[in-house]
Each structure stands twice: as structure tokens, then as C-alpha cells.
Amino acid sequence: MQDVLKVGIAGLGTVGASVVRLIAKRDNRLAEAAGRPIRVTAVTARSRKKDRGIDLSGVRWVSDAVTLAADPDIDVFVELMGGAEGPAKDAVEMALSKGKAVVTANKALLAAHGPALARKAEAKGVALNFEAAVAGGIPVIKTLRESLLGNTIERVYGILNGTCNYILTRMAEEGIAFEDCLKDAQKLGYAEADPTFDVDGFDTAHKLSLLTSLAFGTLVDTKGISIEGIRSIKPVDLRMAEELGYRVKLLGVAQRTADGVEQRVHPTFVPKDAAIAQVNGVLNAVAIDADAVDLTLVGPGAGGDATASAVIADIVDVARGHRTAPFIRPVAALTKPSRAPMTRHEGGYYIRLEVVDRPGTAARIASRMAQNNISLESIVQRRSGPVRGGTDPAAAAPAPVVLITYATTEAAVRRALKAMDSDGILIGAPQVIRIERD
């Protein structure tokens, strides 16, 4: 058996502590699988005194992450601190410059600097592994890097943020408002005190940018992603989805189109019988549509043990001497992405309007849709309450109208809604949610 693989870990939060514990617990099994023993020999974290429920008696403490990354007595540097800049970036760059393999769960770092870090890894002939950066314990990176190389991928999409999936699930099942559900998620530890990164779609976008690069051979392009979060979703939208045969999920979607690679993050209507519609709570799911196979992978997208499972799998690959280009192809072979404008997106749409309840309104809606060549699959109209302030039709209460369109373009939908607004029949902003039918 080969010499011990010495691991240094920067960051001993929930994931880092789980990595230390699981490596110690599965010592013999990992050695048999890797062909050599794996030991955590050095660590660094903000507090040395904190009780993490793990035995660190035989482990060296190092003053900071960059010093640990340069330590000549470690073989693998594991970065679990997070953040796109600062100590995380500096330490990963240091480790690569010293010819050390790097394992990271840091999607923000890779979304911002992935290709540059991959170049450094290639130049030194070392691994840069990041299975845990996308969808926690789901092995989607390895699937794209290794298992699907014989395929041409047309689309990759999924539920990539457990916080949003938890909130949408609770809203649908219990009919509660977004704000109330978010407060519950924060109390349970599913959402941060500042939830912006999760609920506004940025976390999903970072993960999607990595999947896009792996699936389509493009440079990481987070700026090319159209991003919408879930703050605008109302209980009425979830009730209408159920009534019409759909569920609402925040999806990250990347797909080939005639105009280039389309990347988008947004709430989405998915058919209730689709596999991804059954993924509830804090679970994640990634679906891959390819010419030879279609796959849907489901599992925990976060949590100490689930994410540590992915980190340890990457460490075992290093111990085995298994190395592949971080983004499958050498960075020099990655192409500059040709962005498909969101206005050219084609698909079905759910459109909920609040309109003035007066004669001719429905006809005007139908006329504006027809003028933009938008065919309607269904129209659902709910009667409004009594007229406010007497018999004046202009004072009528808002009447909700829900439209489901056949495939059309984003640009056509926006033109039709702009025209309705100019007609003076809309009250407030329309709700527009895209539909993924398969």
C-alpha cells in the first residue's frame, strides 16, 4: 500500500467537521478503496476553542488558510470556507502554485474564477475537484465529467437550492405567504438571516454556470444568466398551478438553442407527473437530457454529511491518482459562450393578470395576445367582488385572469403585456411564470 495521503482542511463548519469525522470513521474502508490511507493531518478555522464534536487531538492547527495551503506536509488542500474572494481564493491559488491537489465546495469561487484556477491546476498537473459545489451529495459533476462523455447534451436543469424548494413546498402544501414561510425557514436553519443569495436566485445561478460549462464546453459565464427569484410568488399562483396540473419550482436551466446556449434561473411551472415535480422540501434534483440517455438525479443538496460525502469522494479520487481536467476539456479548448437572448426564449407561459372588471376587458386581452401571435391553451377568470364606490365601472375591484399559452417567445409576451398596460386595463404588475413541459 502507498504512503498516507495527508489532508489539510480550511474551514471546520458543519461540512468541515463532517469530513473530519467521516474520514476517521471510515478509515479502513477508505484505505481499501483508495489504495492508501487517508488522514486529516492539519486544519485551520476561525476558532480553535469551539466544540465541534470531533476529535482533533492528533491534528496540527495552522494559523490561517494560506499558510495551510503552502504547508509542505500536506498533499491535498480542502477549502470549505466559502466566498469568491479573500482568503478562500488566496489559499486555493497558493495550494495550486505549490503543486497540491485542491478539493473545494465553493461554488461562488468557481463561478467567479473557475477557468483561471483550472489553468493553474493544469499547469501543475494536479487535480481541482469540486463535486460538493453543486447539489451537495448528488454526484452530478462526476456524472458529467466521466459517465456521459459519449453523449451530446441538449439540456441540463434542476432544483439547485434547497431553501427555495423548501419555501415553495410549504407555500403549496399549506397555502401560506412567502414572507411567513421564509421566517419559518430561518428559524429552522434552512435560510440565512440575509436570504438574498438564496431566494433571489444567485446561489442557483452560480451552480448553473458550472453545470453549463461542463455540459457544453463553454467558459463559465455567470453574467450571461437571466435570474429571477421567488419573492414574487403568491399562494394564488401555487393554487392555480395545482388546478391546472402543474407545480412551481425554482429551476436553473441551460440548453442549446439555435441562437447559442440559453442560461436562466426562474420560478417554473412543471407538470405534476414530471419526476422533478415530485422533489420537495430541501431536496435537490438535476436532470440531464442527452442524445443517448436522459437522467434525473435526486438527493440532499446541502447538510454536513451529504456535502462531506461529495468532498470525500473527491479526496479518494486524488488518493487513487485519478485526475481529469476540471471542466472536462483543457481551459484552452473551452469556447466563449454564445449567449441566447432571453427575449428569444420559446415556451409556454402562465400569466396572471389583475384587470379592471368592466365590459370589453376580456376582448382587449384576447386581441392583444392575437396581435402578437400568442395562442392560448386556457383562460381562467375569477369574478371580482362588488364594485367599490357605487356603480362606476372604473371603480370595480380587480378581476384576476389567468392565461396559459402555447409555445411562444418571451418578446411576444412582453409586447402583449406592454400593450395591455397602455390600454389601461391592468392593475399592478402581471405575474409571468415560464412553463417547462418535459
Annotated catalytic residues are: 207
Which grid cell is 391?
Answer: 356603480
Half-sphere CA count of 149, side-chain side, radius 13 A? 9
Within 80-168, strands assigned E span 101-104, 128-129, 153-159
Within 35-121, strands assigned E span 38-44, 60-61, 76-79, 101-104
Distances (CA, A) of 311 to 72, 135, 203, 355: 22, 12, 19, 52
Which grid cell is 47?
Answer: 476558532
- Taking CB atoms within 8 Å and a gap of at least 24, the contacts of 198-201 are 198/161, 198/163, 198/164, 199/163, 199/164, 199/167, 199/229, 199/230, 199/231, 200/227, 200/229, 200/231, 201/161, 201/164, 201/227, 201/228, 201/229, 201/230, 201/250, 201/265, 201/266
Nearest to 414 by CA among 381, 355, 374: 374
What is the signed CA dihedral for 115, 120, 126, 127, rounded to 10 degrees? -20
Report the largest interatomic distance among the alpha carbons of the chain, rounded to a whole angstrom.
Answer: 89
Which grid cell is 189?
Answer: 436553519
Helix (H) or strand (E) holding 136: none
Return left, alpha or beta for 91; rule: phi > 0 is left, psi -120 to 50 is alpha, else beta.
Answer: alpha
